[in-house]
Chains A and B, each alone.
Chain A
Amino acid sequence: MKKKLRHFIFQELIFVADPDSFSDDDDLLAAGLNSIGIMRLIMYIETAFGVTLPDAEITVENLQTLNLLAQWIKGHQA
């Protein structure tokens, strides 16, 4: 899951010079993930992983790192 998330985020949303050195605990928001990027990411997640993510849960706590993001998605998978 994290591999797919990484690919989408660094391919489509944020530029980082060396994606491999960006850890699963590094701050995605500080790296440049902005509001329209978050919207695109959520649409991607809902399609790619077959989950529905409630608007009320679109918070810093769920989006700040790849680990938190993956944890959030897993919480909504059947």
Chain B
Amino acid sequence: MNSSKDPIIQSLNPADYLTLAMDEEIRQENMPGSLCGFALVLDSLPDVIQLTARISEFTEQFPLALASLQQQGDRFHWCQRTQPFSIFFQHKCADPESAGTFQQTTLLTLLNQQQPRETLAPLEFHLISDPNNTVFLLRWIHPFCDAKGADLILKYLCTEDKAQRTQFDLPKSESLVNVHLAKYKWWQKIALFLKAKRYITRLDSYHSIQHADLSHPPKQLNCITHTFSAEQSGVIAQQVRSNVGLTGTSLYYIGCLIRALHGLAPEQAGDAYCVPYAFNLRKQNVRTPLLGNHIGTLFAQAPKTVIANRIALFTHLKQQNKETIQQQLDYAFLPIMWAASWLSLKKYGSELRVSHGDGSERSSVWFSDIGQAEFVARSFFGADVVGLRHLCQISSPPGIALLVCQYRQQLTLSYNFIEPLFNEAQIEQLHQLMSQELLGAAS
């Protein structure tokens, strides 16, 4: 493929450069870049003929799914490929003895696959089956879509009515960063820029706590998923309401995660936990699965001094979040995102990750609350959906990410971690602590 001459279909928007910078950061660590996965655990093999036809229809409606991400000059673009290729693959377990581990091994192999950015498909579908059950994996790269976009793709695939499927589309407006910035006069943009800089400076006055063992280089992504029963999920929902109210669901999960991490190694060096979380500029319910990830990053930060007391921690996080919205710090990041999109990926990645205070990693753990899955079908092409899993590559450090999702009134936690910086035993211990926190048993 001649990467300098392929026709441009669509240029990246300013928000896309944020996730692209993180893709580059991960690649610099000899890891596969910002690969993500949304997996449906099925009780049987779905109707493969119908599924194939629906995927084929999807690529006709969204030819961008077959694009290649290329750098031309200083900028990046989705470009047309010159050769046809497939994005739907089937993996069958031939050896009944390895049936128990086949799905997990295949999932992780796919998420750990290293490939140049230009040749990597932005989106792939994988059907992984053994004699017991099947997993349908949607694997994508940032910035092509985000977890909500992947959810919408699954919703598209499961929408039986063709007229309803045609309502899914690409974003109609220009970049939302530019749309929002256009509301401000030039001096207001400068004021926002300075406000965001002050916010980062304040954030960087604390040294972030890291739990990763950084004596070894990152080798591979692993993922452990736990789903709470409907009854337990109900208890957790009640805890959310009583501790943080209607506006703080994500903050409850973040607070519990901070306390669970602290419980893992209370003497860990550092002053505070710093947890980045995404804010999304797009409206809720927009049917734009692709190129709609207009996200930016804000941070929840909790000094060690407030962690011991659950109520104090939640009050602190809620107040911090309220001030963030009140002071419009989310919008304050827009001029920075716009300006940073013109930096080299290396410089942008460094700005995102490295504390201006002491030059260490700013984030203690990555976190994302995917919310209620839009994909609500019980049946996936004739197979029953019995579980969900979310996977994502992470930079090291922090080498750990928690992805939270609700499906059919059940809360699912997907712990993604980089080995050997973390190991399975540590993550299981973390989950035990996290469960106690979420259920309110650790008060």
Contacts and interface: CB of A to CB of B under 8 A. Distances in A.
A48 interface: no
Nearest to A33: B284
A34 interface: yes
A39 B325 CA distance: 7
Nearest to A10: B283
B56 interface: no
B284 A63 contact: no
B284 A39 contact: no
Contacts of A63: 246
B325 A34 contact: no
Contacts, number: 49
A16 B286 CA distance: 8
Nearest to A31: B285
Interface residues of A, number: 23
Interface stretch (B22-30, B247-255, B268-276): B247-255
A14 B250 contact: no
A56 to B, nearest CB: 8
Interface in A33-67: 33-40, 42-43, 55, 58-60, 63
Nearest to A63: B246
A35 B284 contact: no
Nearest to A40: B325
A27 interface: no
A3 to B, nearest CB: 19
A33 to B, nearest CB: 7
Interface in B253-311: 279-280, 283-287
A16 B285 contact: yes
A22 B247 CA distance: 23
A13 interface: yes
Given A39-B321, A39-B325, A43-B326, A59 B285 contact: no
A12 B325 CA distance: 14
B245 interface: yes
B316 to A, nearest CB: 14
Given A58-B246, A60-B246, A36 B285 contact: no
B326 A35 contact: no
A35 B247 contact: yes
8 contacts: A13-B284, A32-B285, A36-B279, A39-B321, A39-B325, A43-B326, A58-B247, A59-B246
Given A15-B283, A39-B322, 7 more contacts: A14-B285, A31-B284, A31-B285, A32-B283, A38-B247, A40-B325, A43-B326
